[in-house]
């Protein structure tokens, strides 16, 4: 299969590209390299440096003869979406629309889109949250993902494109850089290794559904081979408080410190826990990595103690 991966130089993207290559796929990466992962792409990979909302990226999909698109490129920060909502919409709405048009023009048979679970559902009391729960985003980021999903559904219904949105939980693992505002686990690993206290936004009682990047990559590949067009949650079905995650990382690092606390950002979801029954039924997917294992693998990767593969 010939697969175009947008955002393929990013955190989830690099791992996805590696897994596709291991499976015998031909891959082109389309990425503007603004959020490239610390984990490098294979040297022989074809890379088109372009903005996914632009004509160059669309032309690259067709020129490559892509049979499928895995659309991972995004503006991924809730905080930034409040500061720069127009740019957020450009990346997450127009970028997705651009790639949908490219996929149709290239005659692609499959389109897999990286959406969001927590940001889409908002402050629901229904936990674990199924895909049938009404979307009620609390941020421009979540709203943009919802609009992008609406475009997917419309293209499936009117243009014959088989498209599926995967609603990720909070993805973490080796290769996440931890230098921005998003990515609690990566940021905490980086701060601990630098001798700084972990940073917690808010009271730390907010919960998240943390899902290991290797499990997300498997979901991406399973979705490529599936005909499912409904949105699918990709989460563990377990909610974990931020305080507990930071405490476990400090124990792993053998560090005793009082976390630094700052106010929670606007639009932050209080609780996130995704029902993965649909993923099990439609994709045959379930998470392989318990949080304790994933945290250990991630910290070891940051510490440079071992080369830690994401998919195993």
Q: Give domain status of residue 204, yes or no.
A: no
Q: What total of structural domains would you count in the chain?
A: 1
Write the pLDDT tens digit of every residue in 179-237. 777 789 999 999 999 999 999 999 999 999 999 999 999 999 999 999 999 999 999 99
Q: Give domain status of residue 296, yes or no.
A: no
CB-count exposure of residue 110 (10 Å: 0-12, 13-18, 19+): buried
Q: Give the Cα separation of 137 and 235 in Å (integer).
A: 18
Q: Give the Cα separation of 136 and 122 in Å (integer).
A: 5
Quickly count: other Cβ atoms within 10 Å of residue 262's Cβ.
9
Q: Give domain status of residue 247, yes or no.
A: no
Q: Give domain status of residue 124, yes or no.
A: yes
C-beta separation of 289 from 179 below 8 A:
no
Q: Give domain status of residue 183, yes or no.
A: no
Q: Give domain status of residue 302, yes or no.
A: no
Closest CA to 170 of 133, 200, 219, 211: 211
Write the pLDDT tens digit of every residue in 55-108. 999 999 999 999 999 999 999 888 899 999 999 999 999 999 999 999 999 999
**CATH at residue 162:** 3.40.50.720
Average confidence (pLDDT) over 110-132? 96
C-beta separation of 67 from 109 below 8 A:
yes
Q: Give domain status of residue 184, yes or no.
A: no
Question: For the packed helices 95-106 and 140-159, what is the interaxial angle rounded to 10 degrees?
Answer: 20
Q: Give domain status of residue 82, yes or no.
A: yes
Please provide the DSSP assignment of 242-282 as one string. Answer: HHHHHHHHHHHTT---PPEEEPPPTT--S---B--HHIIII
Q: Give the Cα separation of 180 and 269 in Å (integer).
A: 19
pTM of the model: 0.95
**Residue positions annotated with a catalytic role:** 141
Average model confidence (pLDDT) across the chain: 94
Query: Above 60 in pLDDT, residue 312?
Result: no
Query: Above 90 in pLDDT, residue 124?
Result: yes
Residue-range definition of the domain harbouring residue 107: 2-169+212-235+275-288
């Amino acid at each position: 299969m010939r697969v175009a991966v947008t955002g393929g130089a990013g955190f989830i993207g690099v791992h996805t590209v590696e897994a596709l290559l291991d499976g015998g796929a031909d891959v082109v990466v389309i990425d503007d390299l603004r959020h490239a992962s610390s984990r490098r792409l294979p040297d022989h990979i074809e890379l088109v440096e372009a903005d996914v909302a632009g004509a160059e990226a669309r032309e690259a999909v067709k020129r490559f003869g892509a049979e499928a698109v895995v659309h991972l490129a995004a503006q991924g920060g809730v905080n930034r979406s409040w500061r720069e909502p127009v740019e957020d919409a450009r990346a997450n709405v127009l970028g997705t629309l651009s790639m949908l048009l490219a996929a149709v023009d290239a005659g692609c048979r499959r389109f897999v889109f990286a959406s969001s679970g927590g940001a889409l559902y908002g402050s629901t009391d229904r936990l674990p949250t199924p895909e049938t729960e009404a979307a009620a985003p609390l941020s421009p980021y979540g709203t943009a993902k919802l609009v992008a999903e609406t475009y997917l559904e419309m293209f499936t219904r009117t243009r014959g494109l088989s498209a599926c949105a995967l609603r990720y939980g909070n993805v973490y693992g080796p290769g996440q850089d931890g230098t921005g505002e998003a990515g609690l686990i990566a940021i905490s690993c980086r701060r601990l290794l630098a001798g700084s206290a972990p940073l917690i936004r808010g009271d730390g009682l907010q919960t998240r559904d943390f899902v290991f990047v290797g499990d997300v990559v498997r979901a991406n590949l399973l979705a490529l081979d599936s005909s499912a067009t409904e949105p699918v949650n990709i989460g563990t079905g377990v909610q974990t408080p931020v305080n507990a995650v930071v405490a476990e990382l400090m124990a792993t690092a053998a560090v005793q410190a009082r976390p630094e606390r700052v106010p929670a950002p606007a639009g932050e979801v209080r609780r996130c826990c995704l029902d993965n029954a649909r993923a099990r039924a439609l994709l045959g997917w379930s998470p392989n990595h318990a949080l304790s294992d994933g945290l250990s693998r991630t910290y070891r990767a940051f510490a440079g103690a071992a080369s830690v593969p994401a998919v195993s």
